[in-house]
Each structure stands twice: as structure tokens, then as C-alpha cells.
Amino acid sequence: MTADSTSSSPALPSKALPAKAQRTLFQRIFEPKDIKSLSPARLVLTYTILIFWSFVVLFPLYWLLVTSFKLPIHVSGGPVYLPFIDFEPSSHAWSYIFFDLGNDTFRPYLNSLIIAFASTVLAVLFGSMAAYALTRITYRPKIMSIAAFILILAAVVISTIAAGIPWQIGLAVGAALFVLFLLTLAKRFKRSLGNNDILFWIISQRILPPVVAVLPIYVMFQQVGLLDTHLALIIVYMAVNLPIVVWLMRDFFATIPIDLEESAELDGASRLRIFLTIVMPLAKPGLAATFLLVLILSWNEYLLALFLSTADAQTMPLLVAAQNATRGPQWWYMSVLIVIMILPVIAMTALLQRFITRGLLIGAVKG
Amino acid sequence: MQVSLRDIRKSFGAIEVVKGLDLDVGDGEFLVLLGPSGCGKTTALRMIAGLETASAGRIYLGEQDVTDVLPKYRDIAMVFQSYALYPHMTVEDNIGYPLYLRKVDKQERAQAIREVAGKVDLTDYLDRYPRQLSGGQRQRVALARAMIRRPSLFLMDEPLSNLDAKLRGHMRTELKHLQNELGVTTIYVTHDQIEAMTLAHRVAIMKAGELQQLAPPREIYNDPANLFVAGFIGSPPMNFIEGEIAGGGFRAEGAALSCPGFSDHGKVVAGVRAEDLRVVEPNAGELQGTTYAIELTGNETLVTCQVGESLVIVKMDKDYDEKIGTAVGIALANEQVFFFDAESGTRLRPNNT
């Protein structure tokens, strides 16, 4: 790819020079080479580096698997590496997790599956709709309308809390005032925001560390009585992951030629149908990648789960952390839990990988 | 279906790209919107399709005012310059998509797809994907998709411009044949005058958002409304000589033409086509000049002569040859000379007609 695109770069006046000489040293070093055409020395070097790096990547996984079969004595007695050679593997940790803990393992596991998948599906669905709207529709929210909304909302909150006005009345008056503002004064203000401002606002939700927001969120869910429920975690995970989905999907949607959608529109498709039958299938690679990323983020999330769940909605990361309890870190139990925790993610990755391909748009436009 | 545009305008910000277009397209007519790039022809087409909203003016399809109607309710099919095929669908699904949206049942749909695919020679490619097709085949898929539901109006936005020259000639013939066979009103946008001349029943020439002339191709060629149209249509382009009309004659350096019936006029431009001129002996003929270049194109020879400040191209037969720099005279083969006001470009006509 790189070699092709560089050699066909704008024709320079030095046309007599061979294509190779026109590329910079940097480009020549990093252009991809066919592995078969490498000299033996470079082949050995390449494979050495690759094997070393594979080792770096895979060793923690190996260590995890091995540790899950160790007795406490093997862990505290100093590192042992190879089962059957260094130490006699034992399934004590596995039987403890699956039989002694039993439902106390399966419940968080099921919780994690429900919460992670539900929040991811919702985040990807709503997030990609928002991203699509932001790539295809121009929004012009007026600054003064936003300011008026915030002011009126603040006034309603203050009047209900401080002056003791019933909140239904406060809300009705506030809504009426806001509509009145939109119909009258709002016309006189011209300054407005654009799509990029909206996008920035969306991503700005991720600027604060979650620990700042977690207490207010806790209080909110306490008020509505949703603490320690699946719904609470699904809602929160969906909300925190929406900005990521919007930002990733927007780039994918931007690459889809607008001609396709205009053509479908003339063929008689409604906006929703265009989105579902034209845009979404073409955004599959992006959807798959985004889905995986968001799934992993929700699956591994710890802090929000720690605050919002206690028993019924407890998730796997909490259970893993709980193994580091009064008796000190129980590495063998943790390893078992982490091994079974990794499996669904690996399965999803294997399942979705075939969608993450390039070149889906070939043949759409141009002859 | 008749199409009428009433003073439609389109502005993008402060720039007005279509400046009050009035157009009536008859039922079954093949109308070509022709003009240089940026003249607003594509914007006009997109407004008819409903992909752009008109800033002002009304658009009628038949009796119905569709100015504020969504594209999908206008019963229009459009062929895009980029073809806009759905890359994740097979040729069959691409062609059948408009029927699928109309919930036509499967069997009927397959039947219709076969029929229309046969018309454009795609029967063997129905289960392929667009990426597996050549440019010409993709173009035909786009055409088939537009034809399958018998719309009341075809819109085509430079549909042939991505094809190579040979294929373009072939598809032009096919298009003309299909349009005639289907009898569907067609509006076709192009910047290629050959396409316009060969395909159109009538050509609408646009420049800078304004309609210059609307007439059948022959009339556009034989009776251009202004300097722009005269210069835009014809290959080689019409010869222009600047001069003035005084006392019933046109005078310019190296040129003297009689123009009975024209009143005196300051700066004028005389236009005459290459095929209406002949190279003759020096001092004979209406124009005097020297040969500047001689090009044999196969079945004819183009002789470029310097007359005063301007270059005049004369079409001679293929046996003509002469040294470059020879003094020659140029005679008018017939009286086909057009006069235009040099400033406004408007056509000047004799007083008695």
C-alpha cells in the first residue's frame, strides 16, 4: 500500500529518477516488505523481535493460567513456572470458585454479562444514531436558548428546594417560561453553536475523572431507589460510553459517500430505513470495533460498580477485588476468576473479527 | 410527465448559484442541461430531485407543486455521476432496491429485475457485487436501478463522465435508444457538448446560474442566441473577429464583410464557423491572412490562419496542404456570419427581419 501510494505521488519534475530514489529514507525503512523477500539475517532478526514481543504479550496470560492451578505454598514459596516440573498442579482454586462459592461466583458473572452487553448494545445503538445525525444534519443551537434553559432550570431547582414550591408546579412554570422565551426573545439572538461544538460537548463528558462524578451519581440513584440494580449500572455505563461511540462512529459515517444515501432517498427510502439498510451495513467494521471496545470498557469497569452495587448487582471486577481481603491477596482464586472473566471477551473478539475488515466501500462510487 | 421550473433560485450563503431558472420540459422529452462546470446545472438538477431545497421559486411535476415535497414522494429516479451503487448488495439487490422499498413481492420483483437487466445486458452479473464489475457495468447497474420502477422522471447527472471515450460513445447510443423506448421524460446534465448535441431533443445552455438559450440542438448550432452559446457549441469552436459595423459593412484588420441590414454599431464580434469558410488565393475572399498552422485530422484538414490579431480556423478537405506562413485569402462559403455586441455578447440581427 505505502509503496504504491508513494510511487504514484504527484509527478515530480525529476521524472528520470527511479521511483525508489524519490522516497525519503524514513519511507524506505518503514515500507512494508514481503516476508519471503527478506535476507536470512533480517529474517532471523524479524522473527526474534516478533517472538520476543509475543512472549511479552502472552506471558501474563500464561502466568494467570498457571497460577490458577497453584497451591498457596507455590505462590508464597517463590516463583515456580512449569506445571508438573516445577510444581504439582492442583485444582483446589477451581473447585473453591465453582463449588464452594458456587452461586456467589455465577451471580456476579451473570450480572456482568447482562450489564456489559445491555449497556454496550444501547450505547452503540444510541451513540451511532447521534453520530450519524451529527455527520448528516447541521444543527444550530442558539447560545442564548441554552443559557436560558440552564437559568430557568436553576431557578426551578432553587425555588423547589429553597422556597418549598411543589416541584410539579415549578417544572410546569419553568417549561412554560422556556417555551415563551423560544417563541419571542430567542428570535433576536443570532449567535449559535455548530455540530463541532456539540461533539466537543459530548466528549467533554469524559474529561472529568469518573471518581469526581461518582458521588452525585450515587445520590441520584439513591433518590430514585435504583441502587444495586442492573438498571442503574446499565444506564450509567451507557452514559459514560456514549461519547466514545459518538466519536468513533462519526469518523466511520463520514467515510460513507453521501451519494449512496441520496440515491436511496430517491429510490424511496425513509431516513430510518436508509440508516438501517444502507448506512449501518456499511459501517459494520466500525460498529464491530466500537462494540468490542465499549464492551471491554463496561466489562472491566470497577469504580462505578463499586459504588452502585453491593450484592444483587455485583459484577466480576468487584468479585476479583474481593479476593484481596482480610487474609491478603488470594492470587489463586483471583487467577481462576480472571481466566473465566477473559473468556467471553475473547469469544466476542473472535466472533466480531471478521467484520473488522477494510475495503467494504469498494465499488460504491466512481468507475 | 411534464416538468416546470418557475424562477427557481438557489443561494449558498451569499453566493447565488442558480439565478432564476425558468424551464418547461415536455412529456417524454430528453432535455440536456449543458454548461461549463460551476454554472449551476447540477444544483438545478438536485433541486428538481429534492436533494436541495430551492431558495425561491416553484417546481412542478405535471400539475403538482413539488417544491416542498420530500424526494421519495416525487417519483423521480436519478443516475448519479458516481453511480452510487450500494456496495454491500449484489447487482440483483441493487437493481431491485426501489421495488423492495415499495414492498413488491419477491417473485414479481425477480421478474422485473430480469427484464430490466436484460435491457442493459447484465443478466449474467446479477449475483455479483459492484466491486466485481467494470466501470461500464456499474454504470449500467445504476441505469437499471433507475429504470426498474418506471419513474415519471429520469434525472442524470453526468452519468457517462467516468467512462472511457469508446464506452462513452456506446453508452450514449444505448441511452438514447432506451429513453426513446421507455418514453420517460429525462433531464440530463453534462458539460460535454457532443453528449448534449447527440442526446437531446432540446438543449438548455447555462452560464453562471442563468439560462442562455433553450432550443433543439440544430437551432443552438445554427442560430446561437449570444456570444457564449456560439463559442461553447461546435468543434473546432466558432471563429471570432473583433471589429465594427459601419455603412452596411463589417470592418476589422484584414477583414471586410458585407452585412446588409445591420445598423452601425461600435465594437462588434463577428463569428463564423470553420466549415463555412474556404481558403482561397491571396487578395480574393473577404478575409486576408497568413497560414499559422495546418492540422490533418483524418477526414479533413484544419487550417489556422492569422487574420489581424485573431486566429481563424478553416475546415478544408483532407487533400489540402500549404506551407506555414503563406499569405492566403479566406472566402465565406455561404452567408453564415453571426454578429454579436462585443460588450454584452448579445446577438445583433439585421433590421429588416
Region of residue B183 (phi > 0: left; psi between -120 and 50: alpha; otherwise: beta): left
| Position B185 in a domain | yes
Top residue of A140, A256, A266 to mutate, by most chain B CBs within 10 Å, is: A266
| Position B116 in a domain | yes
Top residue of A267, A282, A358 to mutate, by most chain B CBs within 10 Å, is: A267
pLDDT at A6: 39
Query: Rounded to whole angstroms, how far apart are CA atoms A309 and B264?
Result: 97
A27-36, A40-49, B72-81, B267-276, range with the lowest pLDDT: A27-36
Q: Which of A74, A367, A190, A247 is nearest to B161 (CA)?
A: A367
**Per-residue pLDDT tens over the stretch A221-268:** 998 899 999 999 999 999 999 999 999 999 889 888 888 999 999 998
- Which 54-93 residues of chain B touch chain A by CB within 8 A? 70-72, 74, 76-78, 80, 82-88
pLDDT at A361: 65
pLDDT at A73: 84
| Position B353 in a domain | no
| Position B72 in a domain | yes
- Residue A58: alpha-carbon gap to chain centroid: 23
Shared domain for B111 and B188, answered yes or no, is: yes
Query: Rounded to whole angstroms, how far apart are CA atoms A167 and A158?
Result: 10
Considering only residues B40 and A357, tell me which one the structure prediction assigns the higher pLDDT.
B40
pLDDT at A7: 40
pLDDT at A353: 81
DSSP A99: I
Using a CB–CB cutoff of 8 Å, tell me whether A365 touches chain B: yes
Query: Rounded to whole angstroms, how far apart are CA atoms A353 and A278?
Result: 21
- Which 276-305 residues of chain A touch chain B by CB within 8 A? 278, 281-282
Shared domain for B289 and B204, answered yes or no, is: no
Please name the member of B84, B131, B138 whose beta carbon is closest to the beta carbon of A260: B84
Domain that holds residue B183: 3-230
For residue A113, count other CB atoms closer than 10 A to its CB: 14
Question: Domain of B246: which CATH number?
Answer: 2.40.50.140
pLDDT at A131: 94
**Domain end marker among B197, B230, B263:** B230
- What is the mean predicted confidence (pLDDT) over B78-96? 92
Average pLDDT, chain A: 85
What grid cell was written down for B19? 439565478
Closest chain A residue to B76, measured at CA: A266
A144-158, A180-194, B157-171, range with the lowest pLDDT: A180-194
Shared domain for B27 and B86, answered yes or no, is: yes
C-alpha distance from A261 to closest chain B C-alpha (Å): 8
**Domain end marker among B230, B265, B289:** B230
Top residue of B101, B150, B167 to mutate, by most chain A CBs within 10 Å, is: B101
First-residue to last-residue Cα distance in chain B = 36
**Per-residue pLDDT tens over the stretch B187-210:** 999 999 889 999 999 999 999 989
Helix (H) or strand (E) holding A272: helix A271-273
Domain count, chain B: 2
Shared domain for B286 and B336, answered yes or no, is: yes
Which of the four pLDDT bands, split at 50, 70 and 90, describes residue B49?
very high
Is the pLDDT reported for residue A161 higher than 90? no
Is the pLDDT reported for residue A322 higher than 60? yes
Tell me which chain A residues have a C-beta less than 8 angstroms from the C-beta of B84.
257, 259-260, 262-263, 364-365
Task: State the burial class of residue A4 (Cβ atoms within 10 Å of its Cβ: 0-12, 13-18, 19+).
Answer: exposed
Shared domain for B213 and B257, answered yes or no, is: no
Which of the four pLDDT bands, split at 50, 70 and 90, describes residue B186?
very high
What grid cell was written down for A137? 444534519
- For chain B, give percent helix, strand, coil, nearest 5: 25, 35, 35
Closest chain B residue to A265, measured at CA: B72
Tell me which chain A residues have a C-beta less than 8 angstroms from the C-beta of B87.
282, 360-364
Is the pLDDT reported for residue A8 higher than 60? no
Task: Say if residue B237 is preceded by a cis peptide, omega within 30 of 0.
Answer: no
Shared domain for B107 and B255, answered yes or no, is: no
pLDDT at A344: 92
| Position B33 in a domain | yes
Which of the four pLDDT bands, split at 50, 70 and 90, describes residue B352?
low
Using a CB–CB cutoff of 8 Å, tell me whether A270 touches chain B: yes
pLDDT at A15: 43
State how far the alpha carbon of B181 is from the alpha carbons of A111, A237, A331, B324, B337, in Å. Answer: 65, 60, 80, 51, 39
| Position B264 in a domain | yes
Is the pLDDT reported for residue A340 higher than 50? yes
pLDDT at A243: 94
Please state the φ and ψ torsions of residue B332, each to the nearest 5 degrees.
Answer: -80, 125
Task: Give percent above pLDDT 90 in chain A.
Answer: 37
Average pLDDT, chain B: 89
Residue B291 bridge partners (DSSP): B305
Shared domain for B60 and B92, answered yes or no, is: yes
**Per-residue pLDDT tens over the stretch B1-16:** 889 999 999 998 888 8
Please, are residues B87 and B129 in contact by the beta-carbon 8 Å criterion?
yes
**Domain end marker among B230, B260, B281:** B230
B72 to A268: CB separation less than 8 angstroms, yes or no: yes
Which of the four pLDDT bands, split at 50, 70 and 90, describes residue A328?
confident
Is the pLDDT reported for residue A21 higher than 70? no
- What is the mean predicted confidence (pLDDT) over B138-156? 90
> At B12, is the secondary structure helix, strand, or coil?
strand
| Position B113 in a domain | yes
Using a CB–CB cutoff of 8 Å, tell me whether B162 touches chain A: yes
Which of the four pLDDT bands, split at 50, 70 and 90, describes residue A364?
low
- What is the mean predicted confidence (pLDDT) over B305-333? 88
Closest chain B residue to A259, measured at CA: B84
Query: Rounded to whole angstroms, how far apart are CA atoms B292 and B99?
Result: 60
Is the pLDDT reported for residue A78 higher than 80? no
Top residue of B72, B93, B102 to mutate, by most chain A CBs within 10 Å, is: B72
Is the pLDDT reported for residue A61 higher than 60? yes
Q: Residue B222 contacts by C-beta under 8 Å, 6 or more apart in sequence?
A: B336
pLDDT at A365: 64
Shared domain for B79 and B115, answered yes or no, is: yes
Which residue's C-alpha cell is 506551407? B323
Shared domain for B178 and B122, answered yes or no, is: yes
Task: Give percent above pLDDT 70 in chain B.
Answer: 99
pLDDT at A22: 64
| Position B259 in a domain | yes
What grid cell was written down for A110? 451473570
pLDDT at A16: 46
pLDDT at A234: 96
Please name the member of B70, B78, B133 whose beta carbon is closest to the beta carbon of A263: B78
A363 to B130: CB separation less than 8 angstroms, yes or no: yes
**Per-residue pLDDT tens over the stretch B287-301:** 888 999 999 988 899
Shared domain for B22 and B159, answered yes or no, is: yes
C-alpha distance from A357 to closest chain B C-alpha (Å): 13
Question: Domain of B50: which CATH number?
Answer: 3.40.50.300
Shared domain for B78 and B189, answered yes or no, is: yes
Shared domain for B129 and B42, answered yes or no, is: yes
Is the pLDDT reported for residue A81 higher than 90? no
